[in-house]
Amino acid sequence: MHTAIVIVVVLLVVISIAAGLIWVERRLLALWQDRLGPNRVGPLGLMQVLADMIKIFFKEDWIPPFADKAVFIIAPAITMVTTLLSFAFIPWAPNFVVFDSNFGILFFLGFSSLGVYSVVLAGWSSNNKYSLLGGMRASAQMLTYEVFMGISLMGVVMMADSFSFSAIVKAQQHMWFFIPQFAGFVVFFIAGIAETHRLPFDIPEAEGELVAGYHTEYSGMKFGMFFVGEYMGITLISAIIATLFFGGWLGPSFLPPFVWFFLKTFFFIGVFILLRAGLPRPRYDQLMEFGWKILFPLSLVNLLVTAAVLLFIK
């Protein structure tokens, strides 16, 4: 019964946060660009999300005649499902988690790998050169950053001696892991941006060159699923950063634990949006080079050093 309630709460909260982020991002971006952003629909423009939802549901759900229909329909669903499933392992507060698995991190890594399929299949099934190029870029980019995203987390796992998110949070009672694992944090954060293909790493959908990349042919709610999926990805990565490196729900007791968790998460969501506001998009080869030549060695060194230090201490 407890689990069922948790599931419902997590699902509702995550989806509303993701949807609300549409408004948050537009408002924040506007502020950083000296504009106002959506402010007409409802108080502070908050109903903009609702208006957008209504609009997107009423749009013609069009499938191009040249597309591979079945795959075309499945692709956007995959991104939603994999991201949502990952939330199952993240504790929002003590004992507030859907499934406190011993292998939480592995599950998360697994699901995010599966997320690649969504983009690749969307690009391929659209049967359109821009989509295909977007899909190919996305797969290369995500597979690359997947590798050291995993490795960068191993330092944390070693220090906490567990793959369970709850255990890792508890292991940060005395010191948040971003201090000993700063390198790991940096690598994971950057890999996280690439994994969600957010700006500045939105190369798969670079509108200046690929129209809209893998989702060029999508419209209506199918496009909406990609859209919401992206915001859920941001929320997920932010939540994981907060959990693994910044002590999750831990914090001074004048606020309840889940508030701390959300505060930390929202902080990183804000950073995501700030990155979008401030940074230009690198070239595709620069992105790959940066990944393989800098981040990958860095994460390996971090792993070795952590291992050596731990060995030395124990």
Residues interacting with other proteins, by CB under 8 A?
A: 30-36, 274-275, 277-279
Coil, helix or strand at residue 1: coil
Using left for φ > 0, alpha for ψ between -120 and 50, and beta otherwise, residue 44 falls in left
CA 101-103-105 angle, to 5 degrees, is 110
Closest to other proteins by CB, 105 vs 193, is: 193
Three-class secondary structure of residue 93 per DSSP: strand
By C-beta, is 294 or 307 nearer to other proteins? 294
Residue (35 or 129) nearer to other proteins, CB: 35
- Burial group, residue 42, by CB count within 10 angstroms (0-12, 13-18, 19+): middle
**Residue 84: CB partners within 8 Å, gap ≥ 6?**
11, 14, 232
Phi, psi of 96 (to 5 degrees): -110, 80
Nearer to other proteins, 33 or 102 (CB): 33
Q: Which is nearer to other proteins, 277 or 300 (CB)?
A: 277
Report how far residue 223's alpha carbon sits from residue 206's, in angstroms, rounded to the nearest whole number.
Answer: 16
Beta-bridged to residue 93, according to DSSP, are: 96
Report in angstroms how near the CB of residue 253 gets to other proteins at its nearest. Answer: 30
| Residue 17, CA atoms < 13 Å, CB-side half-sphere | 23
What is the closest distance, in whole angstroms, from the C-beta atom of residue 30 to other proteins in the complex? 8
- Residue count (the chain): 314
Closest CA to 247 of 201, 196, 179: 179
Closest distance of CB 299 from other proteins, Å:
17
Question: Dihedral (C-alpha) 193, 196, 201, 204: value to the nearest 10 degrees?
Answer: 170
Alpha-carbon distance of 259 to 204, in angstroms, equals 35
| CA angle, 266 then 79 then 226, to 5° | 75
The nearest distance, CB 304 to other proteins, in angstroms, is 23
Least Å distance, CB 173 to other proteins, is 30
Minimum distance, C-beta of residue 274 to other proteins, in the bound complex (Å) = 6
Nearest-approach distance from CB 290 to other proteins, in angstroms: 12
Q: Which is nearer to other proteins, 37 or 257 (CB)?
A: 37
